[in-house]
Structure 1
């Protein structure tokens, strides 16, 4: 039995016979400090990962009733890293009770965060990746923190994931982007390996400039229009999971955000049409795109 201990988020995390999980998790973090430290048996691990009999199992004594599900064991490195990814978000939420964690994507436009609350099947991650391809930095594709006092968006520094196989409607240029930025993956999911200027590091704060409700439909002409503040408020509150026991604080904080944000609804079919409308509305001309950087490198 080989134990590798790492310090992650200031806590000891043990990887028993599965150092590859530590390396895999470190590969999806941006702006975090992950370092290997000596294993001290007298100090219990905050989280323990173990590879045994073809299964990646994990245990976190501080979490009650949320260890690996016996009906869906993790049998691949990607599944094990995804397990840690999900629990890491809960870990962040537990450590930062003053911050909300919201299920949404967010991209930086002209120094401000534009929020895309996660409405089912509206393509927030796909749109976010098209925005990154166009040169706009990503705060997060699935979860972004919000400071309840300052009303700023805070990047978690986690690489985005895209579902596989890629949709056949994606244009060749976007497929090429995904291939060139392929990170850890399996048959169902692919992490998108983003570098400096493409993703915002953990802990960076941005003022919130807009809340955009996505409405993706087939065969529709793309448009962007004002959205009722009440709709934006409901979308954010419904997708908050970091703080739940303070309804008054939740309502007041998110109301202040939408009152000072540009609330819109984006109706679109093709993500590239959505990118063009968002750039015009919030960012003017897109910064130097990934494609142009790649072509001139």
Structure 2
């Protein structure tokens, strides 16, 4: 598995100026790099098929950038219209990760008729299998492991655009693994990852293999698999009710669709012909072997692959609610996470923290917490803005949301 290095069409290394504006195939807006050559080179190593083209100096004053990457002292900041504030003081791998998120969101924004599913996906025999599930279900590790399987092509480990015809689109971005690898993975996988890490820092690394599908490749979506990692459980498959599959895909769709009716209709049509399964597993190699058996022929799942009709992994009970926050205290959000906007909603995002979804009210509350603020002040401001709502209910809602953020270490109390 050879590492990829940035190459020109003629096969030589790219010569990169200290500051440049670049367009990427499939995106309407360019990216600006200012003294950020290592990030440019890092991006070239972990992507395939983006075809960067410099924007002539005569045209640069007439365009708005999708993302700006600026370097100083070996660290980098990334700013974009999707972020409420720049991500700052990032090492190369983290800055590259932030830029990839901008490229993926820019691709989705340019295509309002596409779904944007938070999942990993591989192509097997011409069709895509999408793997999704809750945080810590092992999606990225599974996709990285499948990248070493013969006959499979990695379309994504995080975001899969799906066009109106039900075809997934590869964005050409290598899977990113949390490091170090967890205990219990096979020696062969550990050795493969070591040889395929094209860009890394102390916490994450990008795994680049020949199985990475190039940006723009498409394939029909054939199956969706809901992952459920259960300690000590043997790998097993069960059928997933289509209503549950629809619910999962609605929750995992990050695109800003025109309205909820359009989104439901799209996902309803998409799931009618999909194979919908749940995969319960503990051992990674067992899961990979079962995936190979289930998706080994024209019929999915394969007739000789055992699939239970009932669900062997009922939904876990909801986690206990965090205690409400003390509204008499001062609170402030922690540094690091930045709001990445997607229509009226958004996600708190950081290279080390991705996927905390916020509705419009939570976005307003998060914005207020940029500076230290007392919970009672927030309640008072909201009571003025919504005079028809019971102040006691507002206070309870604010205390509950602040309490949840305290539990997730997104805000901290401030002395004063």
TM-score category of the 2 structures, normalised to the smaller one: 0.7 to 0.9
**Counterpart in the other structure of 1:232:** 245
| Deviation of 1:66 (Å) | 2.7
Q: Tell me, in whole angstroms, the C-alpha distance in 2 between the residues paired with 1:105 and 1:230.
A: 21
* Structure 2 spans left out of the alignment, 5+ residues: 1-16, 299-416
Q: Is 2:52 the counterpart of 1:39?
A: no
Which structure has the larger Rg? Answer: 2
SS of corresponding position for 1:283: coil
SS of corresponding position for 2:57: coil
| Deviation of 1:45 (Å) | 5.2
More relative contact order, 1 or 2 (CA 8 Å, 6+ apart)? 1
1:67 to 46, 68, 85: 85
Q: Is 2:43 the counterpart of 1:25?
A: yes
In the superposition, the TM-score normalised over structure 2's length comes to 0.63
Q: Tell me, in whole angstroms, the C-alpha distance in 2 between the residues paired with 1:104 and 1:178.
A: 21
1:187 to 185, 202, 221: 202
| Deviation of 1:44 (Å) | 4.8
| Deviation of 1:128 (Å) | 1.4
Q: Is 2:171 the counterpart of 1:153?
A: no
Q: Tell me, in whole angstroms, the C-alpha distance in 2 between the residues paired with 1:250 and 1:80.
A: 32
Q: Bigger shift: 248-257 or 19-28?
A: 19-28
Q: Tell me, in whole angstroms, the C-alpha distance in 1 between the residues paired with 2:37 and 2:57.
A: 13
Q: Tell me, in whole angstroms, the C-alpha distance in 1 between the residues paired with 2:193 and 2:254.
A: 30
**Counterpart in the other structure of 2:123:** 108
Q: How does 1:71-220 map to 2 (within 5 A)?
A: 73-135=88-150, 136-147=152-163, 149-195=164-210, 198-220=211-233
| Deviation of 1:54 (Å) | 5.1
Q: Tell me, in whole angstroms, the C-alpha distance in 2 between the residues paired with 1:200 and 1:104.
A: 16
**Counterpart in the other structure of 1:6:** 22
Conservation of the 8 A alpha-carbon contact between 1:108 and 1:137:
yes
Q: Tell me, in whole angstroms, the C-alpha distance in 2 between the residues paired with 1:35 and 1:26.
A: 13
Q: Tell me, in whole angstroms, the C-alpha distance in 2 between the residues paired with 1:64 and 1:10.
A: 15
**Counterpart in the other structure of 2:236:** 223
Q: Tell me, in whole angstroms, the C-alpha distance in 1 between the residues paired with 2:54 and 2:82.
A: 27
Conservation of the 8 A alpha-carbon contact between 1:226 and 1:265:
yes
Distance 1:27 1:248, change over 3 A: same
After superposition, what is the alpha-carbon deviation per residue over 1:152-171, rounded to whole angstroms, capped at 9, x for unaligned?
A: 11111111100001112111
Aligned residues: 277
**Counterpart in the other structure of 1:256:** 269
**Counterpart in the other structure of 1:268:** 281
Q: After the TM superposition, which parts of structure 1 deviate over 6 Å for at least 4 consecutive aligned residues?
A: none
SS of corresponding position for 2:182: coil
| Deviation of 1:38 (Å) | 4.2
After superposition, what is the alpha-carbon deviation per residue over 1:248-294, rounded to whole angstroms, capped at 9, x for unaligned?
A: 11111111222101111111111111111111111259xxxxxxxxx
* Structure 1 spans left out of the alignment, 5+ residues: 286-297
SS of corresponding position for 1:235: helix
CA RMSD of aligned residues (A): 2.1
In the superposition, the TM-score normalised over structure 1's length comes to 0.87
| Deviation of 1:83 (Å) | 1.4
